[in-house]
């Protein structure tokens, strides 16, 4: 078994995936395998992936499109490494991030989720901001409670995190959650392990008009997911109050 797999679920991301793969191959840490799981793309994703003549790059293609969540779960079904990172096909890793996260997992055997911060960019990778998450070391349950109380993703998306595969077992992304699916998955893992943020920037989070969050997570979906997330992970009265306040403010001020 190899130490690390980089699993890249993708659909019609030919415009970005080449940069994503290149950012992995240029890392100082090299004991990894990249597996691109193509969800029946209709663009030239396959040609771009196969243009990388590196034995560490694997390409799998679904016969039919099984949806974004289904494709993420398929990545979990085929994992075969000590650690994994599910990397979005439009994000770009910063130099050295893989070694920092692998070292953190090796140093802290109780940690199952290692996160990092990120630089937020537009489609051309021009910086427009940054995103930071829970800093330092947290007991898993405490990290989950913090997210529920704030009704906020304080852990990060899959590109932020590296996971210890031994804690994943049968845990999968919930098909009933779109906007909060990443956070709910991380919280399930943190009920069986601890959390650590390396407190450094690890990748460029690319925002663009064709991203999953833009296409599939409108305002209504986001509010529905907030309610579901609080129900699943903890019934805190002020958490529900926070969601209701957000909904009312958005309805009144259209924001």
238 pLDDT higher than 50: no
Cα–Cα distance, 23 to 108 (Å, whole number): 26
Q: Taking the CA of residue 50 as centre, how many other CA atoms within 13 Å lie in the half-sphere pointing to its CB?
A: 8
215 pLDDT higher than 50: no
Per-residue pLDDT of 43-85, as tens digits, reads 999 999 999 999 999 999 999 999 999 999 999 999 999 999 9
* Strand locations in the chain (E): 2-10, 32-38, 57-61, 81-86, 92-93, 111-121, 127-131, 136-138, 162-164, 194-206
Number of domains in the chain: 1
Cα–Cα distance, 173 to 152 (Å, whole number): 17
Token pair recorded at residue 102:
């692998």
The residue whose two tokens read 């070391």 is 137
The residue whose two tokens read 């099984």 is 66
Neighbouring residues of 231: CB distance < 8 A, sequence distance ≥ 6 = none
Q: Could you tell me the residue range of the domain that residue 96 belongs to?
A: 2-253
Q: Given this model, what pLDDT does residue 151 score?
A: 79
Per-residue pLDDT of 155-170, as tens digits, reads 999 999 999 999 999 9
Contact 181, 171 (CB under 8 A): no
Q: Can you list the pairs that 122-129 forms with residues at least 24 positions away whose Cβ atoms lie under 8 Å?
A: 122/206, 122/207, 122/208, 123/206, 123/207, 123/208, 123/209, 125/19, 125/92, 125/204, 125/206, 128/207
Token pair recorded at residue 88:
């979005």
Q: Taking the CA of residue 13 as centre, how many other CA atoms within 13 Å lie in the half-sphere pointing to its CB?
A: 27
249 pLDDT higher than 50: no
Residue 119's DSSP bridge partners are: 130, 204
Q: Is 174 left (phi over 0), alpha (psi -120 to 50) or beta?
A: beta
Whole-Å CA distances, 198 to 27, 189, 203: 17, 18, 13
Whole-number mean pLDDT of the chain?
Answer: 88
Cα–Cα distance, 226 to 60 (Å, whole number): 33
Cα–Cα distance, 81 to 37 (Å, whole number): 16
172 pLDDT higher than 80: yes
244 pLDDT higher than 60: no
Q: Given this model, what pLDDT does residue 40 score?
A: 98
Per-residue pLDDT of 8-36, as tens digits, reads 999 999 999 999 999 999 999 999 999 99
216 pLDDT higher than 60: no
For 78-117, give the DSSP string.
S--EEEEEE--TT-EEPTTHHHHHHHHHHH-TTEEEEEEE
| CATH number of 198's domain | 3.90.550.10
């Amino acid at each position: 078994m190899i130490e690390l797999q980089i699993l890249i679920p993708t659909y019609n991301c030919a415009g970005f995936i080449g940069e994503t793969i290149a950012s992995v191959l240029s890392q100082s840490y090299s004991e990894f395998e990249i597996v691109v799981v193509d969800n029946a793309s209709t663009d030239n994703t396959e040609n771009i992936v196969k243009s990388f003549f590196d034995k560490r790059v694997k390409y799998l293609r679904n016969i039919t499109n099984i949806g974004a969540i289904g494709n993420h779960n398929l990545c979990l079904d085929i994992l075969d490494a000590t650690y994994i990172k599910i990397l979005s096909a439009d994000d770009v890793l910063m130099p050295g991030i893989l070694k920092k996260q692998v070292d953190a997992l090796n140093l802290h055997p109780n940690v199952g989720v290692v996160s990092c911060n990120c630089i937020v960019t537009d489609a051309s990778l021009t910086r427009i901001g940054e995103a930071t998450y829970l800093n330092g070391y947290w007991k898993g349950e405490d990290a989950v409670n913090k997210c529920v109380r704030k009704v906020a993703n304080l852990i990060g998306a899959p590109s932020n995190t590296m996971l210890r595969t031994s804690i994943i077992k049968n845990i999968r992304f919930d098909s009933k959650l779109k906007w909060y699916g990443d956070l709910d998955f991380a919280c399930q893992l943190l009920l069986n392990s601890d959390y650590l943020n390396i407190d450094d920037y690890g990748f460029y989070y690319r925002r663009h008009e064709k991203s999953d969050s833009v296409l599939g997570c409108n305002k209504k979906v986001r509010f529905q997911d907030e309610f579901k997330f609080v129900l699943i992970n903890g019934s805190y009265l002020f958490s529900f109050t926070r969601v209701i306040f957000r909904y009312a403010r958005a309805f009144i001020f259209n924001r």
